[in-house]
Amino acid sequence: MPSKSQPEVVIRAATPADSSICGQICYDAFSTLSAKHGFPCDFPGPEVAICILSMLFSSPGFYCVVAESEGRIVGSNGLDERSMIAGIGPITIDPAAQNLGVGRKLMQAVMDRANERHPAGMRLVQAAYHNRSLALYASLGFDVREPLSCIQGRPRERNVPGCAVRPAQPADLDACNALSRRVHGFDRGTELAQAIQQNTAIVVERAGRITGYATVLAFFGHATAETNLDMQSLIASAESFGGSGILLPSRNTSLLRWCLANGLHVVQPMTLMTIGLYNEPSGAWFPSVLF
Ligand SMILES: CC(C)(COP(=O)(O)OP(=O)(O)OC[C@H]1O[C@@H](n2cnc3c(N)ncnc32)[C@H](O)[C@@H]1OP(=O)(O)O)[C@@H](O)C(=O)NCCC(=O)NCCS
């Protein structure tokens, strides 16, 4: 029986009509958390969080859920179902309802849904300074895989000799997907095709072939490249990075040093956590904030 301090929580599928309430909760949860730890908020204001959740709640590639307690929405979570790896997040709970078990229920709901489709694995990116989310995800079975540095700024170097960056075209999909399979063991072709359609994706060519791509150089985008040189050319082509920044695997210290030497700064530490299939990537890569 639920106790008085833990009223019954009902989990249901999210609808686009839930976006405003959930976006406000998402902003409140992240701004409260980041202010407490002295980090900048991942969202400049509630409107951006509302806009992102409204896209996720209406996208066929995502399964999203909300938690209700006493008839009121108290949190939400999402599941990216666009590839053979399921990506989880963003999960946020109303600050007034945190640490009462709602987050665990919202995680279990999307993990149950993911398991119905037998994905090769599940992944998420965690705010490394948050003890509670680390404890929650670890206790649900997620392993710590990779420390990430969220990086922001305008690179001083504007291009890398021998590398040419250009917008990605639909005809580039096969080469990019083949590159992703070589580096990660799987591709994210649906996500990349959507990014090409939205005109955010870029590719780098070296010696006459595609050696790297990014869906968008941003918090919500991922990038994969054969070598650090190819990744440097993608980074150098950007004026800045969308959202809080790009997520650079911190153990790729030579790329991190190149970023620092180019005037970029570290915004916050994050952690990639995974369940199931995981291959050590054989190339340069940035996950998105989902995975
Ligand atoms: C992170 C978040 C989603 C978790 O949801 P929640 O409802 O607060 O968490 P829950 O109560 O379901 O679970 C927290 C668990 O961590 C445990 N925990 C909390 N702090 C802990 C600590 N310092 N050490 C060990 N365990 C800890 C709790 O005991 C609980 O475990 P239990 O279920 O075994 O009792 C929520 O706090 C939130 O929205 N935070 C701000 C935004 C955010 O960080 N989102 C996630 C981004 S990665």
Q: How far is the CA of 158 from the centre of ligand 1 (A)?
A: 42
Atom number in ligand 1 closest to CA 126: 48
Ligand 1 binding pocket (C-beta < 6 A) is 29-30, 33, 91-93, 98-104, 126-127, 130-133, 135-136, 139
Atom number in ligand 1 closest to CA 124: 48
* Residue 103 CA: distances (Å) to CA of 50, 88, 108, 192, 287: 19, 12, 9, 30, 23
Atom number in ligand 1 closest to CA 127: 48
pTM of the model: 0.96
Q: Which amino acid is at 30?
A: F
Per DSSP bridges, beta strands 85-88 and 121-127 are parallel
Q: Which amino acid is at 145?
A: R
Q: How far is the CA of 128 from the centre of ligand 1 (A)?
A: 13
Atom number in ligand 1 closest to CA 139: 34
Q: Give the residue among 149, 155, 118 at the shortest CA–CA distance from 275.
A: 118
33: three-class secondary structure by DSSP? helix
On whether the CB atoms of residues 152 and 264 are closer than 8 A, the answer is yes
Q: How far is the CA of 135 from the centre of ligand 1 (A)?
A: 7
Q: How far is the CA of 120 from the centre of ligand 1 (A)?
A: 26
Q: pLDDT (tens digit, 0 to 9) for every residue of the chain, 291 residues total?
A: 444 456 799 999 999 999 999 999 999 999 999 999 999 999 999 999 999 999 999 999 999 999 999 999 999 999 999 999 999 999 999 999 999 999 999 999 999 999 999 999 999 999 999 999 999 999 999 999 999 999 999 999 999 999 999 999 999 999 999 999 999 999 999 999 999 999 999 999 999 999 999 999 999 999 999 999 999 999 999 999 999 999 999 999 999 999 999 999 999 999 999 999 999 999 999 999 999
